[in-house]
Chains A and B, each alone.
Chain A
Amino acid sequence: MTIEHMLQAGRVASVSDPHLQMLLDKQACAEVMMTYCRAIDHRDEELLRSVFHPGSQHRHGFIGPSSDPSRPSKPGEPGDFVAYALGVLATHFRTHHQLGNIFIDVEPGAVVAYTEAYFTAYHRMRPKGDPQASAAAYDTEMDYWVGGRYMDRMEKRDNVWKIAHRTGITDWQRIESPSSSGYNAIPPETRMQQNRDDFLYHRRAFYG
């Protein structure tokens, strides 16, 4: 598994059995959603852009194109969702986005799927005084948890499923001070990295 493989999420075979096709389509769509989480947590811009079809629209914190690198960003005015998300993610030390219930409504042979995926996201926010902190940062580091749902229109174009429209809904959230020990007691080699230094990107070389 290399970055080249990760960038292939959503690719699906064409088969004659409509029920098998539906299973393959659901699996491909689910893997695109998980790739989104993976890209977000490692702030992997190339991978994040890869889960959206050209023209995809977004409504989650940011309203506008999901990924349009040609649209310039100005301070406080991101050009697209990817630029917006990377800016928000930089104000955290680490994040973890997890999917649970994944509904993918797709009719046999269809090239459009309507989905609902439950997410739980854990964030450790940078404190005031940290040069990368958000303008709304607290005096101390904070844990921010949020649960919600992604509702997407996914489309299969040239045998590749990707997101064509995503709306993020918030169901609950909680912000509180982190515990005094906890994460920092974990050995550094098994902590996550918000970039391609993470073990994920090196596992192929490590496992041989």
Chain B
Amino acid sequence: MSRDDQIQALLDRQAITELSYRYSRAADRLDRELLTSVYWPDGTDDHGAFAGSAPDYVDWVINLLSSWIAVHHDNTNILIDIDGDTATGEVHWTGYYTYEINGQVHDHLAVGRYIDRYERRAGEWRIKHRTCLSDWSRIEPSVDWRTDPARRRLAGKRKPDDLLYSARRLGIAAE
């Protein structure tokens, strides 16, 4: 492998890793456009409770997460095997969710793995297929911390209200 090929392999790995980060950001901020952009239009997804085309998955998951109070997805242990213009990956995910069950607010902590197929088309990597596996989870009644004003001020929100989308983030506008 030439030095250029080695650098290209690092760039490919970075681009594929960032697909999982963008997927999480999109789910957490309810950013439909961003979530759609991590899959190829003919991509597919199998989340167990839903299996089908990527556009239908986006509709399903955005609808599901809309009613939840807090959603935070993290990715670690990212192992990617690249073979030309295709690649496979295993990504460990951790999900923290707060939502109501029978009128009572609960915290749901879950971990699992995405088993992915990626394709490069015209130089761009996207997900061709994602299978979501669940490895462990627990659900318990939550502590309603959002009544704490000190915490609420800098609390995470959805698109376009989250700081991520704000000019303040860029230091362009004052708070």
Given A20-B7, A118-B74, check contact A100 B164 (CB 8 Å).
no
Indicate whether A97 reaches chain B with its CB closer than 8 angstroms.
no
Looking at B52-60, B118-126, B150-158, the stretch in contact with chain A turns out to be B150-158
Residues of A within 8 A of B143 (CB): 173-176
Interface size on A, residues (CB 8 A): 31
Q: How far is the CA of A120 from the CA of B96 in the complex (A)?
A: 10
Residues of B within 8 A of A120 (CB): 74, 94, 96
Residues of A within 8 A of B44 (CB): none
Partner-A contacts on B (CB < 8 A):
7, 10-11, 14, 18, 20-21, 24-25, 28, 70-76, 94, 96, 98, 107, 142-143, 145, 151, 154-156, 162-164, 169-171, 175
Q: How far is the CA of A39 from the CA of B143 in the complex (A)?
A: 29
A-B contact count (CB 8 A): 87
- Top 5 closest pairs, chain A to chain B, by CB: A100-B74, A171-B156, A101-B21, A171-B72, A172-B70
* Residue in B7, B14, B72, B164 whose beta carbon sits within 8 Å of that of A116 in the complex: B164
Residues of A within 8 A of B163 (CB): 151, 167, 169
Q: How far is the CA of A148 from the CA of B162 in the complex (A)?
A: 12
Given A19-B7, A148-B156, A149-B156, check contact A172 B21 (CB 8 Å).
no
Given A19-B11, A100-B94, A147-B96, check contact A172 B107 (CB 8 Å).
yes
Residues of B within 8 A of A176 (CB): 143
Query: Is B72 in contact with A173, judged by CB distance below 8 angstroms?
Result: no
Residues of A within 8 A of B164 (CB): 116, 149, 151
What is the minimal beta-carbon distance from A86 to any residue of chain B, in angstroms?
Answer: 19
Query: Is A153 in contact with B170, judged by CB distance below 8 angstroms?
Result: yes
Q: How far is the CA of A89 from the CA of B174 in the complex (A)?
A: 29
Nearest A residue to B107 via CB reads A174
What is the minimal beta-carbon distance from B19 to any residue of chain A, in angstroms?
Answer: 11
Would you give 9 A-B contacts (Cβ < 8 Å), ordered by A? A23-B11, A100-B74, A101-B20, A102-B21, A103-B18, A169-B154, A170-B155, A174-B142, A174-B145
Nearest B residue to A118 via CB reads B74
What is the minimal beta-carbon distance from B16 to any residue of chain A, in angstroms?
Answer: 14
Residues of B within 8 A of A126 (CB): none
Query: Is A173 in contact with B145, judged by CB distance below 8 angstroms?
Result: yes
What is the minimal beta-carbon distance from B42 to any residue of chain A, in angstroms?
Answer: 26
Residues of A within 8 A of B10 (CB): 23
Indicate whether A114 reaches chain B with its CB closer than 8 angstroms.
yes
Residues of A within 8 A of B70 (CB): 171-172
Q: Give residues of chain A (130-167) contacting chain B, Cβ–Cβ below 8 Å.
A: 147-149, 151, 153, 165, 167
* Residue in A102, A103, A153, A171 whose beta carbon sits within 8 Å of that of B171 in the complex: A153
Residues of B within 8 A of A23 (CB): 7, 10-11, 14
Q: How far is the CA of A107 from the CA of B98 in the complex (A)?
A: 36
Query: Is B154 in contact with A168, judged by CB distance below 8 angstroms?
Result: yes
Query: Is B72 in contact with A118, judged by CB distance below 8 angstroms?
Result: yes
Query: Is A170 in contact with B21, judged by CB distance below 8 angstroms?
Result: no
What is the minimal beta-carbon distance from B15 to any residue of chain A, in angstroms?
Answer: 11
What is the minimal beta-carbon distance from A47 to any residue of chain B, in angstroms?
Answer: 23
Specify which of B76, B145, B154, B162 lies most central, judged by the most chain A CB atoms within 10 Å of its CB.
B154
Query: Is A101 in contact with B24, judged by CB distance below 8 angstroms?
Result: yes
Residues of A within 8 A of B154 (CB): 59-60, 167-170
